[in-house]
């Protein structure tokens, strides 16, 4: 947290740069108020990089368009019904929104938009005091009607109005509170916590898409643990992602098994660290992070107690893959994300066979083939899945994974594993066997693919001979 003087210096520099200064001059000339609001002001106080420029004004949408159109490189009014106009200036995207005084009917998933007349009224309707800050332009006057700067200094999340009223107005704010604890590293104040616990079922009034987007934003933060723990503690997870709190299996001396919930969050943290190490500067990999968080969600349904109360979770990977697909479907994730996450969950145990006995070239090829485009994510996930405190066991597992990666790399360089296919294609198979297109061609192709995985690439004549041998045994 920077002091007020330093923060104001940052804001002053931002306000005198384009496009902020250009917009401030244009709105002043047109006789309207304009203020930089919310995240940019908050982040200036926190010493964080300012990435989004959001403005608020007393101008109505038609007036905003009239002012912005002559000076912007592009503009759009996709959010016009909510009073928001977007524009682009030299590659910089901005949003300008008319002062709002939203109201909710208690059952609708969307606010009833009502435009306001004062900036103070607009700020009071925002989610948290740390986001209810504005810098009036071009005067550079800080507007803070709910002591947001004090909460910034104390690293506290608090609502500008009574928490129960705020969350009742827009239940999505409960998930935003969860996300901000991780994104900003702040603590939620007790009144807000209690209000979320009391009103948690109102999250069911929010569309699955909006809930999904908040969950994704939480998982994209650098340190999502605090938010996930609050997610579970408030009871929101039970309604949004019930598989997560279900991982809190009881622990006692008799059962002696891992705390699967704690393990899963640790795996997520380790996956994020490996993701940064292997892909520095890249955007957060939401597929990998979802897979890390959900990789063991099949354990509660597959837990069994054997001799001496030994706990097993046989087939939890297969069960977990089905549960992951079902949950991601209900949260309206796209098909590619659902497919990739469920595949990673299904495959995350495959590597542990290697640690026990080592793999043949055939097994390595099949591992790479089964992982397909998810191979690199899968290798990160299985590394992150090592959370044992037994150093010897950890070293042994990591050595096995290092060796497997080396073997995959060697075979990739030698055999082009990324595009494993038989030495003969469908046209060649039909010509050699003198058959027409049909199921037999597919069966022959599949046989040659198995040979390829077992033995590696074959010369054309060798592949032809293997095909003819198969044909002798399988011709109709």
Is the model's pLDDT at 257 over the cut of 50?
A: no
Q: What is the mean pLDDT of the chain?
A: 88
Counting residues of the chain whose pLDDT is more than 90, the rounded percentage is: 59
* Per-residue model confidence (pLDDT) at position 354: 61
Stretch among 66-75, 132-141, 427-436 having the lowest mean pLDDT: 427-436
Between the CA of residue 188 and those of 5, 172, 245, 345, what are the distances in Å? 26, 15, 20, 33
Is the model's pLDDT at 455 over the cut of 70?
A: yes
Chain region(s) in the chain for CATH 3.30.460.10: 1-151
Residue range 246-419, CATH number: 1.10.3210
Is the model's pLDDT at 232 over the cut of 60?
A: yes
Q: What's the mean pLDDT in 266-291?
A: 96
* Per-residue model confidence (pLDDT) at position 1: 59
Q: How far apart are the C-alpha atoms of 110 and 112, rounded to whole Å?
A: 7
Kindly report, residue by residue over 330-352, the tens digit of the pLDDT: 999 999 999 999 999 999 998 77
- Per the model's pLDDT, the better-predicted residue between 85 and 439 turns out to be 85
Give the torsion through C-alpha atoms of 7, 143, 184, 55, to 10 deg.
Answer: -100
Chain region(s) in the chain for CATH 1.10.3210: 246-419
- Per the model's pLDDT, the better-predicted residue between 221 and 358 turns out to be 221
Kindly report, residue by residue over 72-129, the tens digit of the pLDDT: 999 998 888 888 999 999 888 999 999 987 655 555 545 566 888 899 999 999 999 9
Q: What's the mean pLDDT in 274-290?
A: 95
Q: What's the mean pLDDT in 54-77?
A: 94
Domain 155-240: which CATH number of 1.10.110.30, 2.160.10.10, 1.20.1530.20, 1.10.3720.10? 1.10.110.30
Give 460's pLDDT tier (boundaries 50, 70, 90).
confident
Chain region(s) in the chain for CATH 1.10.110.30: 155-240
* Per-residue model confidence (pLDDT) at position 362: 80
Kindly report, residue by residue over 393-437, the tens digit of the pLDDT: 888 888 888 888 888 888 777 656 555 677 777 788 888 888 888
Kindly report, residue by residue over 297-326, the tens digit of the pLDDT: 999 999 888 887 788 888 999 999 999 999
Is the model's pLDDT at 30 over the cut of 90?
A: yes
* Per-residue model confidence (pLDDT) at position 438: 79
Residue 188's DSSP bridge partners are 157
Is the model's pLDDT at 190 over the cut of 90?
A: yes
* Per-residue model confidence (pLDDT) at position 58: 96
Is the model's pLDDT at 254 over the cut of 60?
A: no
Give 469's pLDDT tier (boundaries 50, 70, 90).
confident
C-alpha Rg value of the chain to the nearest Å: 29
Instruction: Tell which residue, 227, 222, 226, has the closest CA to residue 273.
Output: 222
* Per-residue model confidence (pLDDT) at position 353: 63
Residue range 1-151, CATH number: 3.30.460.10
Output the furthest CA–CA distance in the chain (Å, rounded): 89
Q: How far apart are the C-alpha atoms of 455 and 450, rounded to whole Å?
A: 9
* Per-residue model confidence (pLDDT) at position 258: 54
Counting residues of the chain whose pLDDT is more than 70, the rounded percentage is: 92
* Per-residue model confidence (pLDDT) at position 110: 57
């Amino acid at each position: 947290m920077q002091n007020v003087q330093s923060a104001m210096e940052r804001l002053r520099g931002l306000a005198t740069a384009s496009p902020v200064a250009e917009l401030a001059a244009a709105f002043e000339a047109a006789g309207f108020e304009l203020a930089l609001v919310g995240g940019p002001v908050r982040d200036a106080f926190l010493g964080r990089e300012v990435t989004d420029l959001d403005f608020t004004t007393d101008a109505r949408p038609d007036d905003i368009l009239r002012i912005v159109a002559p000076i912007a490189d592009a503009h759009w009014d996709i959010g016009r019904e909510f009073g928001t106009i977007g524009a682009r200036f030299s590659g910089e995207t901005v949003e300008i929104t008319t002062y709002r005084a939203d109201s909710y009917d208690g059952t609708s998933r969307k606010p009833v938009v009502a435009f306001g007349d004062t900036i103070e009224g607009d700020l009071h309707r925002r989610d948290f005091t740390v986001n209810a800050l504005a810098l009036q332009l071009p005067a550079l006057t800080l507007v803070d009607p709910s002591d947001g700067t004090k909460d910034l200094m104390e690293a506290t999340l608090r609502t500008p109005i009574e928490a129960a009223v705020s969350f009742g107005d827009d239940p999505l704010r409960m998930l935003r509170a969860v996300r901000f604890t991780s994104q900003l590293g702040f603590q939620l104040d007790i009144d807000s916590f209690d209000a979320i616990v009391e009103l948690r079922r109102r999250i069911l009034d929010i569309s699955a898409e909006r809930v999904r987007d908040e969950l994704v934003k939480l998982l994209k933060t650098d340190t999502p643990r605090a938010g996930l723990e609050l997610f579970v503690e408030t009871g929101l997870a039970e309604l949004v992602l019930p598989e997560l709190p279900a991982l809190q299996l009881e622990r006692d001396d008799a059962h002696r098994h891992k705390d699967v919930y704690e393990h899963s969050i640790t795996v997520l943290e380790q996956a994020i660290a490996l993701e940064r190490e292997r892909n520095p500067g890249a955007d957060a990999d939401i597929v990998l992070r979802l897979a890390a968080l959900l990789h063991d969600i099949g354990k509660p349904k597959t837990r069994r107690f054997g001799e001496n109360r030994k706990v097993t979770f046989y087939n939890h990977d297969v069960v977990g893959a089905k549960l992951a697909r079902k949950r991601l479907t209900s949260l309206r994730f796209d098909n590619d994300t659902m497919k990739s996450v469920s595949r990673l969950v299904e495959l995350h145990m495959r590597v542990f066979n290697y640690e026990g006995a080592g793999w043949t070239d055939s097994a390595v090829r099949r591992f790479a083939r089964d992982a397909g485009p998810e191979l690199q994510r899968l290798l990160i996930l299985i590394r992150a899945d090592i959370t044992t405190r037994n150093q010897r066991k950890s070293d042994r597992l990591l050595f096995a994974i290092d060796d497997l990666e080396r073997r995959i790399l060697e075979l990739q360089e030698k055999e082009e594993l990324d595009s494993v296919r038989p030495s003969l294609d469908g046209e060649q198979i039909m010509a050699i066997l003198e058959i027409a297109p049909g199921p037999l061609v597919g069966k022959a192709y599949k046989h040659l693919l198995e040979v390829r995985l077992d033995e590696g690439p074959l010369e054309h004549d060798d592949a032809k001979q293997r095909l003819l041998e198969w044909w002798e045994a399988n011709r109709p």
